[in-house]
Amino acid sequence: MGTSHEILALSKLAEKKPSAFFPLGLPVLLIRVGAEIFAVENRCAHMGCPLSSGKLEGYILKCPCHDWAFDIRDGKFTRAPELGIKTYPVEITNGIISVRL
């Protein structure tokens, strides 16, 4: 169980626009879908491309490099769920998004 790190105000995270942050130097992507906030690793499981410029459709984020697609709810690669990217627990306290790393 990691420690919680404040990232930004909930009001500053745009809907369906993945935003990159580097808490503790780690590449983390925050994604807002409606009232839900997800935090995933901003590094593709294939060859490490940043996923921040990927295309989001529903809960599926597609890598801009070679189109691998991941479910942001659990980080799993859609074609082979044994592969995937890390996901991190998100907490919202007093309008501030924190990620547990």
User: Binding residues for ligand FES, per CB under 6 A?
Assistant: 44, 46-47, 49, 63, 65-68
CB of 47 to ligand FES, least distance (A): 4
Nearer to ligand FES, 7 or 51 (CB): 51
CB of 97 to ligand FES, least distance (A): 25
Rounded to 5 degrees, φ, ψ at 3 are: -100, 155
Nearer to ligand FES, 38 or 70 (CB): 70
Buried b (16+ CB within 10 A) or exposed e, 53-65: ebeeeeeebbbee
Nearer to ligand FES, 52 or 98 (CB): 52
CB of 8 to ligand FES, least distance (A): 25
Nearer to ligand FES, 10 or 49 (CB): 49
Sequence-ordered strand ranges (E) for the chain: 4-9, 19-21, 28-33, 36-41, 55-57, 60-62, 69-71, 76-77, 80-84, 87-88, 90-93, 96-100
